[in-house]
Amino acid sequence: MGKQEDFVLRALEERDVRFVRLWFTDVQGFLKSVAVAPAELEGAFSEGIGFDGSAIEGFARVYESDMLAMPDPTTFQILPWRGEGPSTARMFCDIVMPDGSPSYADPRYVLKRTLSAAAEKGFTFYTHPEIEFYLFKDTPNSTAEPVPVDRSGYFDHTAQSYGSDFRREAITMLEAMGISVEFSHHEGGPGQQEIDLRYADALSTADNIMTFRTVVREVALSQGIWATFMPKPFTEHPGSGMHTHVSLFEGDRNAFFEAGAEYQLSQTGRQFIAGVLTHASEITALTNQWVNSYKRLLGGGEAPSYICWGHNNRSAMVRVPMYKPNKGQSTRIELRTIDPACNPYLAFAAILGAGMKGIEEGYELPREAEDDVWSLNERERQSLGIEPLPKTLYEAIRVAESSELLPEVLGEHVYEYFLRNKRAEWDEYRVQVSAFERSRMLPVL
């Protein structure tokens, strides 16, 4: 037994932990949890906890349902929301097959594999997400329009608002779980909040996002309100995105930084962006995986729907933020398509995979988009060579189906399952008769 495992076992003893929740993520990005008593944990470290993989969305081919969850002791945390007294802890797990080989169905392994492919080239991948979400007064109910907790707007300070109370408590909890929060404020829509997580390596960030979504929901419930990461809950208000800043490091040097280059952006950085743009349509199915995601992308404002990049251009899909002098280490690019309802492991893997492709094949970065892309007309965009992103989940699936990059990044199993699942979602969606149709047509037809 290694030191980290010992550390966990000691902590269980000292903190009077009664339950340990073992967390992992299914292919769609839903958190799964199995609770074990502390006494079982020692065994879990050495042999894993067996479970029936075929019962988890997208995990197993039916006949090989036996899988093992191996807790990763470096992710050990006490869960802060269980109140005083005996506490509960959680750890993320890696999924392995009974012979100890890592499972290709495990989204965490998908990301780990992509990260280690990049590491072989000498790169580590860092991400920094800005997560937006809405707070509603009540739990969802399918007939009524949800009511936001306030009517404020961007950066508004609201006296004794639900929002700021909520953010304070959520942030306290996140910090208690070792997740550093950089920034938080009220966003543009009524009841819409944004909380930014601190820069970290992509695997930790993905773990953190999974934790974050849970913490935010828990805190909301404890205050009698409802939190949602649905990408676009209102037609008229802005959607919730998860703008993500990404960068590559070579050792302790930021590989995107080059003093004196345009925007201080190195060749590596430019090729990375070129990779993301070239494969933008293919990876959209992962960064924006729901039918509803596309309503945000088409909604304008902060959400991009064209494949282009710009320096400080908020309408571009990839934004190169303003360079702050002497901050070479913080050179990064911001991806604005991704939304908070994605599976962060798969989405990060896809982004990194696309970017690395750009570096490996030495893609040329296209011209920068200097104008507000929304305000251009179709012809102007055409002449500038700016292509649109997929407009619906269906288009995204079609592009993903002919992608060579995605099966390489995701592995055959996840790739196939994911597409099958998304096709089913689309098929189900397109037969629905919507409120829009009724309100338009019932009166006149």
Partner 1 sequence: MSPVPRPAGRATLLRLGFQELDDARDRLALLGEAAVELQEPLAETPDPDLALRGLVDLLEAVDDPETLRTRIVEDRQTARRLLQVLGGSRALSEHLLRHPEQWRELDDDTLASTRAPAYFMRECLVRAVGADPQAREPIASIPDTAAVDALRVEYRRLLLRLVARDLAHAVGVDDVAAELSDLAAGTLEAALAVARARVGEETAGSARLAVIAMGKCGGHELNYVSDVDVVFVFEPAEGTDETRALRAATQLAANLMQVCSEHTAAGTIWPVDAALRPEGKAGPLVRTLASHEGYYERWAKTWEFQALLKARPVAGDRALGAEYVAMVAPFVWAAASRDGFVADVQAMRRRVLEHLPAAEASRQLKLGSGGLRDVEFAVQLLQLVHGRTDAEVRAPTTLSALHDLTQAGYVGRDDGRTLHDAYCFLRSLEHRIQLFDLRRTHVVPDDDASLRRLGRSLGHLKDPIAGLEKQWRHHRREVRRLHEKLFYRPLLSAVARIPGPEARLSPERATDWLAALGYADPAAALRHLEAMTAGVSRTAAIQRSLLPVMLEWFADAPDPDAGLWGFRRISESLGRTHWYLRLLRDEGEVAERLARVLATSRYATDLLEREPNGVRLLADDLTPWGGTTLAAEMRASAGRQPCIDDAARAIRAVRRRELLRIATGELVGATDVLRVGRGLTALTDATLGATLELAERAIREIRGLDEAPTRLAIIAMGRYGGLELSYGSDADVMFVHDPVPGADPQAAAQYAQAVANELRRMLAMPATDPPLEVDADLRPEGKQGPLVRTLDSYAAYYARWSAVWEFQALLRAYPAVGDPELLTRFMAMVDPLRFPAGGISEDDIREVRRIKARVDDERLPRGADPHTHLKLGRGGLADIEWTVQLLQMRHAGQVPGLRTPRTLKALAAAGEAGLLADEDREALTLAWRTVSATRNAITLVRGKPSDNLPHTARERAGVAAVLGYAPGESDEMVNDYLRVTRLARGVVERVFWG
Residues that bind partner 1 (CB under 8 A): 1-5, 7, 46, 61-64, 66, 97-104, 124, 251-252, 407, 411-413, 416
Intra-chain end-to-end CA distance of the chain, in Å: 72
Assigned token pair, 162: 């639900």
Nearer to partner 1, 109 or 166 (CB): 109
Q: Give the DSSP per-residue string, 48-99.
A: -EEEEGGGSTTT--GGG-EEEEEE-GGG-EEEGGG-SSSEEEEEEEEEE-TT
Min separation Cβ 418 and partner 1, Å: 13
Min separation Cβ 276 and partner 1, Å: 23
Nearer to partner 1, 100 or 224 (CB): 100
Nearer to partner 1, 60 or 320 (CB): 60
Nearer to partner 1, 249 or 429 (CB): 249
Min separation Cβ 329 and partner 1, Å: 13
Min separation Cβ 328 and partner 1, Å: 17
Distance, in Å, from the CA atom of 126 to the CA atom of 245, rounded to the nearest integer, reads 8
Nearer to partner 1, 124 or 223 (CB): 124
Looking only at the bridges linking them, the beta strands covering 87-96 and 77-79 are: antiparallel
Nearer to partner 1, 93 or 274 (CB): 93
Nearer to partner 1, 153 or 407 (CB): 407
Min separation Cβ 346 and partner 1, Å: 15
Distance, in Å, from the CA atom of 241 to the CA atom of 287, rounded to the nearest integer, reads 10
Min separation Cβ 39 and partner 1, Å: 19
Alpha helices in 309-372 (DSSP H): 344-361
Sign of CA dihedral 374, 380, 386, 391: positive
Buried b (16+ CB within 10 A) or exposed e, 243-258: bbbbbbbeeeebbbbb
Min separation Cβ 5 and partner 1, Å: 8
Residue whose pair of structure tokens reads 């992103």 in the numeric block: 389
Nearest-10 crossing angle of helices 280-287, 412-430: 70
Assigned token pair, 333: 């690019």
